[in-house]
Amino acid sequence: MRPVEGEVLPTHTIEVDVAQVVASAAATWTFFGGHIDADYARRQNRRHIYLATGPILGLVDSYVTRWAGWDAFLRKRKVAMRESICAGDVIELQGQVLGVDDAAGTVTVAVTVVNHMGGRCVEGELTLSLPEG
Amino acid sequence: MTAGDYGLNVGTYEEGLAHVGRPSEVRFADVEVNTAMVRQFVSAIQDPNPLYWDDRLATERCGSPIAPPATLVSWLTNLRWRPDDAPPPAEALLVAVPLPGNSMINVSSEIELFDHLRIGDRLNVVEEVESISEEKQTQVGRGHFLTVVARFRRQSGELVAEQRNVMLRFWTEDHDAAG
């Protein structure tokens, strides 16, 4: 594929449920209260248990790699967590190409994750080496 | 003194600042990067990338079966209980640095990767506190922003990734309300 600066990625929508929050926390050994205990999460002023960092990064990486090619290699990732992604949320991943480096064979993509209430949950920038061909 | 479900090491801002620039002891993963945990992860987040589901394809394309970059930190999350008499592993700096607060939230994460995470890697990490902010009042409570740099290597010593994490260590509202 040959990305173009400014190109907009197809959006991807996910309905986050309790099972996914807990399963992904368990898969990353992050047994912290905010990810598995609704009372604990509410004491942290959260609506419900929320996704751990690793799963969020996984969703973002998967979103961009789905577009760039499954064997695109992630070189750099910067992500800022603005709001928690809670069980019950519907999130949409959005992306846009910030730049293409033909010499290095890389593409840099800005990614935003927004929830069904319009909250901007995650903002990130990923640089990937594109698959050959 | 520890606090909260994270077992955060509670201390003063000044005690925390004493850790700035001091590299941690090396911490080793309890398990090798392994297929079972990779499958659990990609299933939980519904990632269909065939490189994480088809070991033969991954070997052909990447030189070996691989793990998602997003699993990096989880390989270095140490088991909370072990049956042997070995001393517990050193806690991650994000938890171990003494600071005020009974809770924490990950604010931002920045990583550079130099190779795939490969099935069979036994990773280790050395961390260093880069900075700690003065106390700030935030939406979730008052606390300090702690920045930690971590370098991850495989058993050969090869650097696999370098990560910078900013964590907010803070007091929950119910703690403050209790006075």
Look at residue B88 in the predicted model and tell me its pLDDT. 65
Contact across the interface for B112 and A76, Cβ inside 8 Å? yes
Residue A14 and residue B157: Cα distance in Å, rounded?
A: 39
Look at residue A133 in the predicted model and tell me its pLDDT. 58
Residue A14 and residue A8: Cα distance in Å, rounded?
A: 19
B174 shares contact with chain A (CB less than 8 Å): yes
What 3-state class would DSSP assign to A122? strand
What is the C-alpha end-to-end distance of chain B, expressed in Å? 18
Q: Please give, rounded to a whole number of angstroms, the shortest distance from the CA of B20 to a CA of chain A.
A: 22
Residues B141-163: tens digit of each pLDDT? 899 999 999 999 999 999 999 99
Q: How far is CA B57 from CA A22, A65, B31, B52, B53, in A?
A: 30, 16, 24, 9, 9
Q: Which residues of B touch A47 (CB under 8 A)?
A: none
Look at residue A80 in the predicted model and tell me its pLDDT. 92
Q: Which of B45, B74, B142 to mutate to test the interface with A (most CBs of A within 10 A)?
A: B45
pTM to 2 decimal places = 0.87
Q: Which A residues 7-26 touch B at CB under 8 Å?
A: 14, 20, 23-24, 26
A61 shares contact with chain B (CB less than 8 Å): yes
Residues B35-45: tens digit of each pLDDT? 999 999 999 99
Look at residue B103 in the predicted model and tell me its pLDDT. 87
Q: Which of B71, B111, B140 sits opposite A76 (nearest CB)?
A: B111
A108 shares contact with chain B (CB less than 8 Å): no
Query: How many beta-carbon pairs under 8 angstroms link A with B?
Result: 118
What DSSP letter does each residue of B8-26 carry, written as one string? EEB--HHHHHTTBT-BPPP
Whether residue B173 is predicted with pLDDT greater than 80 in this model: the reply is no
Look at residue B179 in the predicted model and tell me its pLDDT. 54
A27 shares contact with chain B (CB less than 8 Å): yes
Residue A109 and residue A126: Cα distance in Å, rounded?
A: 5
Strands B27-28 and B124-132: antiparallel
Residues A20-75: tens digit of each pLDDT? 999 999 999 998 889 999 999 998 889 999 999 999 999 999 999 999 999 899 99
Q: Which of A29, A85, A128 to mutate to test the interface with B (most CBs of B within 10 A)?
A: A29
Look at residue A131 in the predicted model and tell me its pLDDT. 85
Look at residue B170 in the predicted model and tell me its pLDDT. 93
Enclosing H/E stretch for B167: strand B159-170
The token pair that represents B134 in the structure block: 């003065």
Strands B27-28 and B66-67: unpaired
Q: Which residues of B touch A108 (CB under 8 A)?
A: none
Q: Which of B6, B79, B172 sits opposite A32 (nearest CB)?
A: B6
DSSP state of A33: H
Contact across the interface for B50 and A70, Cβ inside 8 Å? yes
Q: Which of A40, A44, A61 sits opposite B70 (nearest CB)?
A: A61
Look at residue B105 in the predicted model and tell me its pLDDT. 84
Q: Which residues of A touch B108 (CB under 8 A)?
A: 78-81
Residues B45-101: tens digit of each pLDDT? 999 999 999 999 999 999 999 999 999 999 998 887 888 876 666 677 888 899 999
Q: How far is CA B10 from CA A59, A86, B98, B99, in A?
A: 33, 27, 5, 5
pLDDT-derived band at A78, boundaries 50, 70, 90: very high
Question: Would you say the ipTM is above 0.90?
Answer: yes
Residue B103, burial from CB neighbour count under 10 angstroms (0-12, 13-18, 19+): buried
